[in-house]
Amino acid sequence: LQKYGYTHLSAGDLLRDERKRPGSQYGELIENYIKEGEIVPVEITISLLKRAMDQTMAANSQKNKFLIDGFPRNEDNLQGWNKTMDGKADVSFVLFFDCDNEICIGRCLERGKSSGRSDDNRESLEKRIHTYLQSTKPIIDLYERMGKVRKVDASKSVDEVFEKVVQIFDKEG
């Protein structure tokens, strides 16, 4: 990513970091949403993303390209993004890692053995898949209709997935 001039921002990491931050007014709220496999209210996620983007650009004005990981996840997220970032940021493309549900669950359960994440269990993961199908898939479909989705078959090996991602970034810049 750095090779292409992008700064990686993970919506999930920003939320988990905020949840752990002493004195955070959102910590408990974020924890409850994450545990239930639900999507955190857009105002919270957008404010964390915008703060991270502003801090990055304040430190180096050349760093104005971002790969935002795990966002937008639903219609509310998309509307919040459009309202807050209109005229400030353009979405070049959506990198969509397409993977079978059972493979995803297996990988997350494996990760759960060492991650310490409260949502790396079958119950939370099944809730997350339900949320994905109901809320996130329609957003992917919307970007697909706009010709902005770049799809990667994520059921393949790490090396094969990485190779496909490199091809996409080589083409997109």
The pLDDT score that the predictor gives to residue 126 is 92
- Asked if residues 8 and 65 have their Cβ atoms less than 8 Å apart, the reply is no
- Shared domain for 16 and 50, answered yes or no, is yes
H-assigned helices in 74-157: 75-85, 101-115, 122-131, 137-145
Q: Which two tokens stand for residue 107?
A: 């990988």
The pLDDT score that the predictor gives to residue 117 is 87
The pLDDT score that the predictor gives to residue 155 is 96
Q: What amino acid occupies position 169? A: F
Q: Which two tokens stand for residue 4?
A: 């292409």
Domain extent, residue 166, equals: 95-172
Read out DSSP for 137-158?
HHHHHHHHHTT-EEEEETTS-H
For the chain, how many structural domains are there in total? 2
- Shared domain for 24 and 84, answered yes or no, is yes
Last residue of a domain, one of 69, 91, 113: 91
DSSP 26: S
Residues with Cβ within 8 Å of residue 152, at least 6 apart in sequence:
95, 96, 97, 98, 161, 164, 165, 168
pLDDT in tens, the chain (173 residues): 778 999 999 999 999 999 999 999 999 999 999 888 888 999 999 999 999 999 999 999 999 999 999 999 999 999 999 999 999 899 999 999 999 999 999 999 999 999 998 889 999 999 999 999 999 999 999 999 999 999 999 999 999 999 999 999 999 97
The pLDDT score that the predictor gives to residue 119 is 87
Q: Report the chain's terminal Cα–Cα distance, integer Å.
A: 10
Q: What is the pTM of this model?
A: 0.84
- Shared domain for 80 and 136, answered yes or no, is no
The pLDDT score that the predictor gives to residue 34 is 87
Cis link prior to 138 (omega < 30° from 0)? no
CATH classification of the domain holding 49: 3.40.50.300
The pLDDT score that the predictor gives to residue 118 is 86
Last residue of a domain, one of 91, 106, 131: 91
The pLDDT score that the predictor gives to residue 35 is 85
Distance CA 134, CA 128 (A): 10
